[in-house]
Amino acid sequence: SRAATFTKSHRIVFSSTLLVAAMQASGKERAMEWASGWSKIAVATARERPGAALAVVAAVGAALPFLLCALALAALTFLGLALPLSFATAAWWVVTNRDSEKKQDGPSTILSRLRAGTLRLSTLSEGSERVCSEISNRGSSIAEISNKTVDLLVVYSGQADFKMEGGDDAARLVARRIADIVERPSVCHTHGDDDSNNTPCTPPRTVCAVDVETLCDVETHFPGGPSLEKMLADGCANVLFVVESSVCLESPSDALRKFKRKLKALSFANTDRTACAPFTTVAVSRSVGPDGSVWCGPKVGGKAGAEFDREIDELFCDKTTRLCPRCDAEIEHNGPGVVDRWAREVLVPALGGFAPLTPRILSLSSTHTALLTRHLGARDSVVGCDSWFHDTEHGVGDVSVTKIPRIDPWAPDLELVKQLNPTLIVCAYDASAEALREIAPRWRLGDSFAKRESVCEGEGDSSSFSFEIVTLPCPLGRDCLRKSAAQILTLGGLARVDENVAQQASDKLTDGLLEIRAKAEKAFGGDRGSIRNDNHENPKTKTLRPQPWIFIEADPELFSADSCTPLGAALAEGLGVGNIADPVWSDETLSSTDDASLSSRAAAALALRMKIPNEEKSAPKDTHYPQLSASRFWSPREPDWWVVAHPTDSGLSATEKSFGDSLDPEDRERHAALREKRVVALSNHLCHAASQWTPELVDVVAAVFEEMAKRVDEIEVVVEEEEAIVEVQEDTEAKEVQETQEANDVNAFRDADGTSFDSAMEPTSAQTKREVLHDSLRDRNLRGLPKSFLTTDLPVLGITHLDLSKNELSELPGLGSLANSLKVLKLERNWFEKVPPEVGTLPFLEELDLSRNFVRPSDASLALDSLSKLKHLKVVDLRWNRKVCTAEVLARMRRRLSGGPVEESDSNACESDGISSVDVRVTVSFPAPDGAFVGSSPADRNANLLRAQLEPWSTLQLRRRLIEDFHQDQAAVGDPERVLRAEVMSLLLRRYETEGLLTPKGIAQRPQRRVVGTPVPELHLAPLRVELKAWLEQRAKGAKGNVQERPSIDAEAYMILRSPTDFNAKLGAGSRAARKAADKFAKFECLWKCAEIALRGVDSAFANEFTALAVTYQFQGSPHIDKQNVGPFYGLAIGDFADGTGGICVESTARTVLAVNTKHALGKIDGRFPHWVAPWDVENSTRFSLIYYRTTGDPEPITAAAFDGDGIGVGGDSERESSPEDEE
């Protein structure tokens, strides 16, 4: 067999050789034939046309000298220029790279090159076999660490995938900069001294830097050298970890993950220190790419560095101490200033055993200057401030308070900034920060590091001018007060003031407003907040006064501040007032009021006087400091109080008058607040405080509250006098006419016995504190309580019932002060996510009502351990909490609160002796009771059946319909615990059948009203058809049969496309769902654009707002409600189904259905009503549909179920007015 194989192989090789020889031979023959052919052509041409042949020969002869000259010139040029340049380039390359050969460098070679200055840290790539680069002249290599201890070991972990411009990764760049600062003599900055008076605090220190990948493999590359444990424990005095997070995803590198695994397996038992050296961490993040484009926005620090610091702290917490606090640095947007400041003020003093240095702060914001000087106790740290800061401490008699230098924040004097030599600059606006970029420190980037570089560009020693820029903008939005309090803590951390001082300043803002709110509720709430009721059957019944409205006059031109600004939010939170500058109102209500003509004339007069356009003529600007139009002062309502928040004559500080002072008496009479002198003019100091977001906002609100309370008392005195006069007149008239029904003519504010109604309602000694608290704290829109409210503001004697229902509370500080008396605690309709932990300190508590909150079902959130210890507890009400809704949670709570074990299988069961049975109330919705629903999803329900059309409604809405629309006795069906959903649905269907709206077979017979959508031109439909067919084919081929993204809907294909504005914001956070949405959008972008063009021709505004597009094929029935929608949607159907079929049916009222025709037309429907697709011929026709909807942004109010082509709501036959229960 071997011989046969050899013979066969030999034949193959021989045949291949013959084939190659034949090809070569054939090539020679073809060349000979070609030359012979051309020679014959030339001979024939010379014989037939001798003149042409002579001309060719003459031309070649004439051109030959020129060709020879050109070749000679080219040769001379190459020899004279190109060849020497090539030799010079080669020589330069050899000289500059003679030390960068591919051979492996040993420790001794690295050390010699470091001392010679030919090697820098940045030239060593992460993961190479070059182990350690010494940055100081007295550094040490890894081989010498066992014999010599360095002062600081810098371990850095960079991201090789994202390089800085110039070649360095961020971690290596930060490590090099910190090492340059530490290795030089540090300078101790004495505040207020010149640079000449600065004295060295510590000598230069030795630094060794190494990347984590090389450190992990040090024992492999250097056998016999120091181990990782020796390096971290005995080879260095301190350890600094520099960890870089990857851009956007903020994930650690693979090398860092490996290093963490190595650290967890280390044992320092064999080291001299028996523990790791003191450590700290620098968390590095990046946000800007090399071309300057922002990838994820500026982020301080990084998730990878913070997690690494936390894990190291937990790993070495027993024996290892922390060197100094962690540094969080965003190095591209903020530059190297944050690293420089931390290294000089924190790290270097910590290496010498000293506390951090005090920063030199330049504050270019009046708010932050006021916080530093008046609230954080850091005036000595402020070396400069902005021009508009109102300094209340300087010039008032205290000679020790020096004047702070002033700098214009919009055009700063850069030379003066250098003279002040700040290390921290605080700005409120980006423009101020950008103006300082010219002198801000920069990174030194580049490929060549042969020469020693300085820390700052253009400077050469450790005292180089460098500073950190921090922008703390004005907080805006509904939670601007929370942001303001958090900003105070942030500023305190930057200024390194005592945490308790910063926390006290932050609490002064939040708790101070809450304390004023409590006083306001006592002063204006209860009987003071009541008005007369015209109910003659019960004249003592009184309703709450409507919410007062204010206008904040920011300047005489009617510029104001809404409730999303610090001043507006402080007044809203502290006084519970509304703001007419809030942009949630429209002028549509003006035409519906009785005095529309009078208000319109007054608004026109005001607009003419102030030359301010009406809202109808000018679109509102997107700002929280708007200039109000004239009509806003009467729609939706006229302001009750007028707050002047700029200096005026009445404020004794300026010559500028307020808007009211500039009006003549006739114009002032048009404004009730000006006419009745309900005006609060702030003083000069409070005007400055009103423009800031400091704790002094509490003083502003307190001043407004005092003026309001004073004016209310005056008004009440006048009202009482007028009522007394009217009463005397009525009594006189009654006596004159001798009527027999004098009791009916008595004033509603008088009781039958002649005593004042207000005095009759005052709590007597026999009344319990429960009534007072009930009237004061229930339904007050409270978002929080002061920490001292339950301990000092309320009488602790006899408080057994505390009712805080119908508020927005999420915690109860100081509840333990009521431990000796409280028995009933009602917290219904609040924002609690867990049972307040202070409940466990109430030993006499009998009833706890936490219904209609947001409590979570975990044992910790339910506080089962604490509740199980309350021996007097009888009732725990957790009904209507969405998370606490399962039978398992109810069984677990009953078992734990009745003395059962933590788990059924737990052998250590708790004893139940002495513990009474507890009534645990939970609304169980899962698993659903029998008969509650028909079908597991809308796809399983027949849309022709009335019950299927009603299934999307909640049980509460069905119960309300049964009572209000069909007049069912509320006592019979109103109890949700006794009458369940199945019974409610059965009673409701019987009512429909009684009225003839339901057949015996369950088919709905409710009348339908036709609504025609806006037709879409064929020009827009044609490309849509092409894209939809391509989509269906592509989905069927590429989705492996899974073309239904919404299984609860009956459709053969269903796809959702998200808008780029929806998923782009989430891509920066590393969301996988956003990445999938972006990929899907890129795949079907043409379909999206065609659909958008079709919608833009009908409603261009909604085409810019919709955030998602649902594309379906063969959609059928499926009654449902789109709970995630925040407004109406547009629907478009395309196909060959019959006209008048396949539209969208939506329930308008209890007895009316709207049928919207969407075939080749766009219909506007509110998906928050039950809706479904009308029947159509599924077997013999096709139907595509496009649904444009919005799931983000401000929600639109629910008005009509469908809209006509003009956008006007289409109602049913029996629309009912909303009740207070609906609003709740």
State yes or no: pLDDT of 619 exceeds 70: no
- CA–chain centroid gap for 635, Å, is 33
DSSP assignment of 40-58? HHHHHHHHH-HHHHHHHHH
Residue 394: pLDDT band (50, 70, 90) is low
Confidence band of 678 (pLDDT split at 50, 70, 90): confident
Which amino acid is it at 2? R
Widest CA span of the chain, in angstroms? Answer: 154
Confidence (pLDDT) at 1042:
53
**DSSP secondary structure of 1124-1160:** T-SS-EEEEEEESPPTT-S-EEEE-SSS-EEEEE-BT
The predicted structure's pLDDT at residue 259: 87
DSSP-assigned states of every residue in 9-31: HHHHHHHHHHHHHHHHHHHHHHH
Write the CB contacts of 248 (distance below 8 Å, at least 6 apart in sequence). Answer: 295, 296, 1067, 1068, 1069, 1070
The mean pLDDT of 67-79, rounded to a whole number, is: 84
**C-alpha span between 508 and 481 (Å, rounded):** 12
List, for residues 743-759, the tens digit of each pLDDT value. Answer: 444 343 343 344 333 33
pLDDT in tens, 1028-1039: 999 988 876 654
**Reported confidence tier of residue 557, pLDDT bands at 50, 70, 90:** confident
Q: Quick one: pLDDT at residue 104? A: 41
Distance of alpha carbon 1187 from alpha carbon 1056, whole angstroms: 9
The predicted pLDDT at position 697 comes to 92
Least confident of 382-391, 529-538, 548-557, 630-639: 529-538
List phi, psi (to 5°) of 1083.
-75, -35
Overall average pLDDT of the 374-392 stretch: 87
Report residue 282 CA to chain centroid gap: 25
Q: Say how far apart CA 226 and CA 219 lie, in whole Å.
A: 7
* Average pLDDT estimate for 432-451: 67
Residue 36 pLDDT: 77
pLDDT for 1147 equals 95
Task: Please give the pLDDT value at position 489.
Answer: 92
- Given a contact cutoff of 8 angstroms between Cβ atoms, the answer to whether 1090 and 1019 are in contact is no
Q: What is the DSSP string of 174-216?
A: HHHHHHHHHTSPPEE--TT--GGG-EE-S----EEEEEHHHHH
Asked if 873 and 850 count as a contact pair (C-beta separation under 8 A), the reply is no
Select, from the ranges 443-452, 720-729, 935-944, the one with the highest average predicted confidence (pLDDT).
935-944
pLDDT band at 994 (very low <50, low <70, confident <90, very high): very high
pLDDT band with cut points at 50, 70 and 90 for residue 914: very low
**Confidence label for 1167 from pLDDT (cuts 50, 70 and 90):** very high
Question: How large is the average pLDDT for residues 1147-1162?
Answer: 94
Q: How high is the pLDDT of residue 606?
A: 55
Spatial separation of the C-alpha atoms in residues 471 and 429, rounded to whole Å: 6
Other CB atoms within a 10 A radius of the CB of residue 1133 amount to: 26
**Which one is predicted more confidently, 191 or 732?**
732
In this prediction, residue 463 carries a pLDDT of: 47
User: Residue 1095, Cβ neighbours under 10 Å: how many?
Assistant: 21
- At 908, list the tokens: 């250590």
**Cα distances (Å, whole numbers) of residue 78 to 65, 84, 89, 93, 1219:** 20, 9, 15, 21, 97
Instruction: Please tell me the distance from the alpha carbon of residue 469 to that of residue 189, in angstroms, as a whole number.
Output: 19
Please report the pLDDT score of residue 168 as a whole number.
55
Q: pLDDT higher for 474 or 669? A: 474
Cα separation, 807 vs 809, in Å, equals 6
Report DSSP state, residue 790.
Answer: I
Q: Does 564 or 1134 have the greater pLDDT score?
A: 1134
The answer to which of 340-354, 406-420, 775-789 has the lowest mean pLDDT is: 775-789
3-class DSSP assignment, residue 690: helix
How far CA 184 is from CA of 118, 136, 204, in Å, comes to 20, 9, 5
**Across 736-740, average pLDDT:** 55
Residue 915 and residue 741: Cα distance in Å, rounded?
61
- 223 pLDDT exceeds 50? yes
Is 430's pLDDT higher than 80? yes
Tens-digit pLDDT profile for residues 256-301: 888 888 888 888 888 888 888 899 999 888 765 444 444 455 556 6
At residue 988 the predicted structure's pLDDT band, cuts being 50, 70 and 90, is: very high
Lowest mean pLDDT among 187-201, 862-876, 1158-1172: 187-201
Each residue's pLDDT tens digit, 682-735: 888 888 888 898 999 999 999 999 888 887 777 666 666 666 676 666 666 666
Question: What's the CA gap between 182 and 440, in Å, rounded?
Answer: 21
What is the tens place of the pLDDT at every residue in 581-593? 886 544 333 333 3
The pLDDT mean for the chain works out to 75
User: How many CB atoms are closer than 10 A to CB 730?
Assistant: 14
User: Where is pLDDT greater, at 537 or 877?
Assistant: 877
Residues 716 and 723: their CA atoms lie apart, in Å, by 10
Lowest mean pLDDT among 185-194, 827-836, 1197-1206: 185-194
Supply the pLDDT for residue 1212: 55
Residue 637's pLDDT is 64
Q: What is the DSSP letter of 817?
A: G
* Backbone φ and ψ of 239, nearest 5°: -125, 135
Q: pTM (2 decimals)?
A: 0.56
Q: Say whether pLDDT at 427 is over 50.
A: yes
**Tell me: the pLDDT tens digits for 791-820?**
554 444 457 888 888 888 888 888 888 888
Confidence tier at 402 by pLDDT (50, 70, 90): confident
Please state, in angstroms and as integers, the Cα–Cα distance from residue 388 to each residue in 376, 404, 410, 709, following that order: 20, 12, 12, 33
Average pLDDT of the residues in 411-437? 89
* pLDDT value for 874: 92
CA-based end-to-end distance of the chain: 96
pLDDT at 832 over 90: yes
Residue 780 has pLDDT above 90, yes or no: no
Residue 354 has pLDDT above 80, yes or no: yes
- pLDDT range class, residue 573, cuts 50, 70, 90: confident
Structure tokens at 162: 């994202």
Is residue 275 within 8 A of residue 233, CB to CB? The reply is: yes
DSSP secondary structure string for all residues of 391-437? -SSTTSS-TTSPPPPEE-SSS--HHHHHHH--SEEEESSHHHHHHTT
Instruction: Give the type of residue at 136.
Output: S
